[in-house]
Amino acid sequence: MLAAVVGYTARRFRYAMVMPNLMPPITTSAAARAYRDRILRHAPETAHGFRPIMALYCSPLIDLDDLRAGIDDGIIAAVKYYPAGATTNSEAGGTSLSAFRDLFEVLVETETRLLVHAESTNASIDIFAREAAFLEDELAPLCSEMPELRVTVEHVSTRAGVDFVSEHPQAAASITPHHLARERSHLLADGMRPDLYCKPIINSADDQAALVTAATTGNPAFFMGTDSAPHPTTAKYGPKAKAGVFNAAYGLEVVADVFANTGALDNLAAFVSENGCEVYGVEHPEHRLELMAEDVDIERATTLTTDDGDDVVLFGAEEATRWSVRAI
């Protein structure tokens, strides 16, 4: 699967913040280095200076001295917190942010970001309210207790998430193409669409509108993060669909379409390229891409097939028929 999908990201993006929720999870700097090397071995030669940025999986297995060493060596750029059971491969996650205070102190000391999957796992809370509940019950107290801790709310999905970032100066947020371009009626109204099922779940039209406003108005705290997840159709089409959308292939076209429909193309480069670089303190890319709004004559692929015969659905093929992308 890695060999089949990494080129979609490497040809379009200079940087990728690589999620550590493998089986087993990435909890050491050595494992992060080995994973980075595997990714780079599969990156196509046409990728211009593609750089995977590695994160560790927030876990009691993390050795704090190893974490410091990995940060000093430049191999570790962040730590990702998953509430246990919230999303794919999150079983090794935490039951409370408060349990990792010592680890977070190392992040403050080294000026390293905490990435957070902001979703409550309390079964009594409505699925569409779980981001707001986690932010209020877990992340807000942590930000108050540790105002120096830099936090990224990953793949923010609600108006409550947008408001949280606006109210906390140390917070930033990534927004996915699918959360920008779709709302829950697309997921549920005309038959359940497993290819749109993700975590946090795609939410209401009002939440979508808040995300679009946050993205398109140039606010530097918000930037594109694909959260691209290539689950094969055998895992998506069944009694329990795996959570995840594979959007690396056409994510830029989807976001460009949102910005064009909002009359905000002047702010597109900031959202997809500049803001994230500033949040993570990396150099801006030297190479540039040009997106042209035009009908594309060739038919866009809607699936990819791995060498093992697994099919993965490509999100955004419709938007991709309205845009062409080329390197300049």
Question: What CATH number did the domain enclosing 61 receive?
Answer: 3.20.20.140
Q: According to the model, what pLDDT value does residue 255 have? A: 98
Using CA atoms, how far apart are residues 281 and 78, in angstroms rounded to an integer? 12
DSSP string for 4-71 = HHHHHHHTT-SEEEE----SS---SHHHHHHHHHHHHHHS-TTSSS-EEEEEEE-STT--HHHHHHHH
Residue 221 CA to its chain's centroid (Å): 15
- pTM given for the model: 0.96
The total of structural domains in the chain comes to 1
Domain that holds residue 293: 2-327
Residue 301 CA to its chain's centroid (Å): 23
Q: According to the model, what pLDDT value does residue 46 have? A: 77
Q: According to the model, what pLDDT value does residue 198 have? A: 97
Strand partners, 314: none
Q: According to the model, what pLDDT value does residue 88 have? A: 83
Using CA atoms, how far apart are residues 26 and 258, in angstroms rounded to an integer? 34
Strand partners, 325: 291
Asked about 297 being catalytic, the answer comes back as no
Using CA atoms, how far apart are residues 6 and 8, in angstroms rounded to an integer? 5
**Exposed/middle/buried for 101, CB within 10 Å: 0-12, 13-18, 19+?**
exposed
Q: According to the model, what pLDDT value does residue 285 have? A: 87
Tens of pLDDT, residue by residue, the chain (328 residues) = 999 999 999 999 999 999 999 999 999 999 999 999 999 999 998 787 899 999 999 999 999 999 999 999 999 999 999 998 888 888 888 889 999 999 999 999 999 999 999 999 999 999 999 999 999 999 999 999 999 999 999 999 999 999 999 999 999 999 999 999 999 999 999 999 999 999 999 999 999 999 999 999 999 999 999 999 999 999 999 999 999 999 999 999 999 999 999 999 999 999 999 999 999 999 998 888 999 999 888 889 999 999 999 999 999 999 999 999 988 6
DSSP 3-state of 271: helix
Q: According to the model, what pLDDT value does residue 33 have? A: 98
Here the tokens at position 237 are: 């089409």
Catalytic residue among 37, 63, 72, 227: 227
* Backbone dihedral angles phi then psi of residue 13, each to the nearest 5 degrees: -125, 140
Look-up of token digits 């060999």: 3
Q: According to the model, what pLDDT value does residue 7 have? A: 96
